[in-house]
Chain A
Amino acid sequence: MTFRVLDPTTEKAPPAGRLAPRLDTLEGKTIGFISNGKEGTKGFFRHLDQMLREEHGVARVVSRTKSNYSAPADKHIVDEIRSWDAVVSGLGD
């Protein structure tokens, strides 16, 4: 007996995001941090902030924290991203 059975998945990849152009250098750039606000993020981002400024010549670090660490970043944070050269996110559990 042959069974004709159906694919249970969406069969379509989710709409793909596009990576921003890579930076040639961090020298003089503005880097944004989007923290999920969890306890472990504090030391991590403090250390990363120091490394970027002291070792890579980053001009400015902007730190923002999501209001809900399990949800996408708040709109006002997303809107601010365009004024940064690069962003560090998705870290800190």
Chain B
Amino acid sequence: MQLASKSYDIDSISAVQELYHSSGWTDGLPIVPPTADAVQACLEWAMMPPDQLIGIEPVRGLAITAEKLAINAVMAGCLPMHFPVVVTAWTAMMQDEFLMHGATASTGGCAVLVVLNGPIRLELGASGTFNALGNSDRATAVIGRAIRLCLINLMDVRPGVIDRSTLGHPGKFSYCLAEDEEDSSWLPLAEQRGVPKGASSVTVMAAGAPRQLMNEWTTRPEEILETFAAEMRANLRHYSIHPGNYALIVPKQLREHLQAAGWTKTDIAAFIHERARIHRREWADVGKGAVVRDRGDSVYPAMESPDQLLVIAAGGPAGGFGAVIPPWLGNKSHAVTLPIGACIDCEPPKK
């Protein structure tokens, strides 16, 4: 397998680190040296030739090849078995509705949330339980990091270059989680979004930082979900009025109450859609009175429709801690779900 990338002969591991840091090729953490052997192993695992075109970034016309994704995946710490997830996530990010350039360049400072579903979670040891949104396991840590390193090196999404984030958030180092499908009676996220049962898949969403909440004081579904809805209303007031994909992370302790009462993800989304909305006049309560104007009575829902809500079962076995993950900027970017290994360009164009 012939690789096309320029190579450098470096004397020591510390010199490798300095080359990559000084060239602006890292996220500030040490990298795994991307040798030809390691990169070829990733490509062989995914059965991809180095020059396979994953896509062309639509705004600046940058071609993204499997070889370059693999180099960055190795740097992030990925093993070959992690690489198909990185490829699928990037394929999803390059769909028009994701609006990758806008989402990664914006002052809004979102990160790419990656959600894993299906058997691949178990094959990779990706855990959706303890510390689900943090350093839960190796697979989600390195996959999430690979997404960011690819953005940095393949699209110049470096701070102050293409990345114009005012603040950003810690998810820009790595923002990947696996859904806890084993300890939930709910449909997995990907199945809820149309992927066949049993297929491994990746969902990507341009996402703000998680907003953590807690309600351990009730077993009633309406009260539990009211806490989630209130957090979303706070986001509509404090951050952005734009409706779009919100993700809810529901841990086991809260899931059990919802599931015991027979609530499905569809029921949850319908309830949240009704409750997570504000009047424009509420902006005046939080210092944004200047833009209320004569539209104070207008109502702004967090989602245009219930199916924009991504309900994800994840979190450790104890604790009534959930999270709302808000969208970068409402409908300007849409979450995309793709099965791993499926070819999305193989079918004839739809009429």
Report the minimum CB–CB distance from A77 to chain B (whole Å).
15
Q: Which of A54-89 contact B (CB under 8 A)?
A: 68-72
In the complex, residue of chain A having the shortest beta-carbon distance to the beta carbon of B24? A9
Tell me the complex Cα distance, A70–B59, Å. Answer: 11
Decide yes or no: A70 and B10 within 8 Å by CB, A6-B34, A10-B68 being known contacts: no
Partner of B34, one of A2, A5, A10, A93: A5
A3 touches B106 (CB 8 A): no
Interface of A is mostly: loop
A residues within 8 A CB of B105?
70
In the complex, residue of chain A having the shortest beta-carbon distance to the beta carbon of B13? A3
Interface check B75, CB cutoff 8 A: yes
Tell me the complex Cα distance, A17–B342, Å. Answer: 35
B332 touches A6 (CB 8 A): no
Decide yes or no: A10 and B7 within 8 Å by CB, A1-B12, A3-B16, A71-B102 being known contacts: no
Partner of B59, one of A6, A68, A72: A72
Known: A2-B9, A15-B60. 11 other contacts (CB 8 A): A3-B10, A5-B8, A7-B71, A8-B68, A8-B75, A14-B61, A15-B61, A70-B106, A70-B333, A71-B99, A93-B107
Interface residues of B (CB under 8 A from A): 3, 5-13, 16, 19-20, 25, 33-36, 39, 59-64, 68, 71-72, 75, 99, 101-103, 105-107, 149, 153-154, 291, 329, 332-333
Interface residues of A (CB under 8 A from B): 1-12, 14-15, 39, 68-72, 93
17 A-B contact pairs sorted by A residue (CB < 8 Å): A3-B12, A4-B7, A4-B8, A4-B10, A4-B35, A5-B10, A5-B33, A5-B35, A6-B34, A7-B7, A8-B5, A8-B25, A8-B68, A8-B75, A10-B68, A11-B6, A12-B62
